[in-house]
Amino acid sequence: MNDHLVQFYEDDVFLIKGLSDYIGDALERGDKGIAIATSGHLDMLHESLHARGLVDAQGRSAEGNYLALQADHVLPMFMDNGLPDERRFRNAIGNVIRQASERHQGRVCVFGEMVAILCASSHCSLNAVGKHDAAIRVERFFNNLQRQFDFELLCAYPLNAFPAATDAPMFGEVCTLHTHVLPAESYDPSASVQTLQRTIAALQQQAYSLSTEVHDRRLIEQALREVNIDRLTGLPNRNVFQDRLEMDIKKAHRSGLPLALLFIDLDHFKEINDTLGHQVGDMLLKQVGQRLQNYVRESDTVARLGGDEFTITLSELHNVDTVTDVAQKIRNDLAKPFLLGNELAYISASIGITLYPRDAQTAGELLRNADQAMYQSKDNGRNRFTYFTASMQEAAQARMAISNELRRAIDEDQLAVYFQPIIDMKNGHIRKAEALVRWLHPLRGAVSPVDFIPIAEHTGQIVMIGNWVFRQALAYVRRWRRFDQQLTVNINVSPAQFYHTNGENCRHWLSDLSFDPNGATGPPEVGIEITEGLLLASNSVVMKQLLAFQQAGITISLDDFGTGYSSLSYLRKFNLDYLKIDKSFVYNLEHDAANVALCEAIIVMAHKLGLKVIAEGVETAQQYEMLRRAGCDYGQGFLFGEPLPPDQFEALLQERPMLSA
């Protein structure tokens, strides 16, 4: 926030001294100084500045960083029918400040002798509002300018501007319009008794008004804190972050020095909330905020956007290499343990970094870039930082294009369901199949599920796709039950499908499964496959739906076991039916003793927990034989058959011998 100061004075000697110090110090720092005062006060100011060697005898600075505006001449330019008019004020004074803030790289310091301007009765009458109301209007005009342009302002008022006790409310309002009220230095020990009495009366008036202003100011500051400060961490929130980023961009534009934006997202924070509780999670967020503040300067901003997302703005960088140093220190520090009451917790952070003006020109673009870079850190394995590159934006645009085309694919019947056989390892018979969605694009050809399924999950399109796959698979398996009444088709269920409308679509599945027009008997026609990520998000909604599936007799398989973060407690808690050993453990099984040991251990553990095991990615006869000897129940992979269109899968069912019902 730009400083808006007010100085009260009793005589011209003190006014000129304060004015000379304010403008003179600005010029010595290389900043821009603008003085708006009466011609008499400007003459005295120029003498003082000339004595300091800052201006010549005519009141001009050699560097051109000083500007004097005569209040007597400026006043009529923004008055309209005896009232200060904001539009005219912007044209008369606002344009001067705007040009100075845009052209000058340093600070812009403005002095305004407001009461002297508004009480110049030889130039105007103040209509019916009175000089105090007119002054307040102009103070508000200045505050509006400060929201647009970066400059400091010092206003001066003589103490006799508020002579009566009834002026206290007006005096308090004037003080409230400023960020700081400077004390009046008017005491003179050698003055007469009458002068001292007048001075004491003025100071009492000021003390009374200031006490009122302090109380009101505290209420205002408390309200501002509630609006702008994150209550949990005490850091600036998204609103303040946005404002400060905009201001830092303006500073960077003027100074020519770059700024960096770091987007920080905690890895696996949800696990802390789920395992230790939200109260402990809040303690962790507070400590994260405290640690982040250790690596920034006072001019930088650490903010919490919400959840476990934080940002850091590093402004006016003389050396961009420091950004890497800061990011590395943050990554290392957040990897250290957190003491949360009696618990020790470990987390890490994924960080995305973008630079102005190299990567973007606006605050919105910078935030988008940093967010994309952060997700790249997630995709690369978490606990790292990544700088934004143009290719990330290209990839984001490609994902958006796929998302748009996927909507048309659903409407234009470009999707198809393929079925991959799952065989009984004891005899090689097909006992199950996995339903797999395929996208046959008219121009792109076959689009890999690896490319479109994550996008569908992110956009929510997976719900519509999942329901369509379910209906297709159910229709086909009911048709194929005439070959084998025990045949079951497994359907992959995304976590998004459980959360959508609190699982309404899953309840529809149960209704569809409860009625078979063919009157078939045997186990339910479909089973579901879930991921380990869904187990980690084991909230009441998920638990309720999984329980409903189990009660309906639908088997539940845990897909890709061994690649995530499941524990034995999860396996016991959810009463699963099958574990699917991930294909990464089966690959090269005949040549990798470690993978053999892992597969054997998983099979033994699953059997002891009452679970059956399906091995994915079986491609060779040796792998099949080793898994069969280890006691694996079912196998899936190219050795037994690749995913096939429905008609080809049906032909495969008819070719191979089946067990009778």
Q: How far is CA 540 from the centre of its chain?
A: 27
d(CA 603, CA 206): 84
What pLDDT, on the 0 to 100 scale, is given for residue 177?
84
What pLDDT, on the 0 to 100 scale, is given for residue 353?
93
The whole-number average pLDDT for the span 147-170 is 78
- Global pTM exceeds 0.75: no
- Token pair of 94, please? 């606002």
What pLDDT, on the 0 to 100 scale, is given for residue 594?
87
Tell me the per-residue pLDDT of 485-524, one tens digit each, with 9 for 90 and over: 889 999 998 877 777 665 566 667 777 665 555 555 567 8
The whole-number average pLDDT for the span 51-68 is 88
Question: Which of 177-186, 193-202, 210-219 has the highest average model confidence (pLDDT)?
Answer: 177-186
Q: Give me the chain's average pLDDT, please.
A: 82
Return the minimum-mean-pLDDT range out of 10-14, 402-406, 592-596: 10-14
- Token pair of 460, please? 């929510």
Beta pairing class for 526-530 and 556-561: parallel
Tell me the per-residue pLDDT of 408-460, one tens digit each, with 9 for 90 and over: 887 888 999 999 999 999 988 999 999 999 999 888 888 888 888 888 887 78
**What's the distance, Cα to Cα, between the start and end of the chain in Å?**
78
Tell me the per-residue pLDDT of 90-136, one tens digit each, with 9 for 90 and over: 888 888 888 888 877 788 899 888 655 665 444 444 444 466 777 78
User: For residue 618, what pLDDT band results from cuts at 50, 70 and 90?
Assistant: very high
What pLDDT, on the 0 to 100 scale, is given for residue 660?
35
* Residue 94 vs residues 41, 87, 90, 183, 496: alpha-carbon distances, Å: 22, 9, 4, 28, 53
Tell me the per-residue pLDDT of 18-39, one tens digit each, with 9 for 90 and over: 888 889 998 888 889 999 888 8
Indicate whether 541 pLDDT > 90.
Answer: no
Q: Report cis status (omega within 30 of 0) of the bond before 495.
A: no
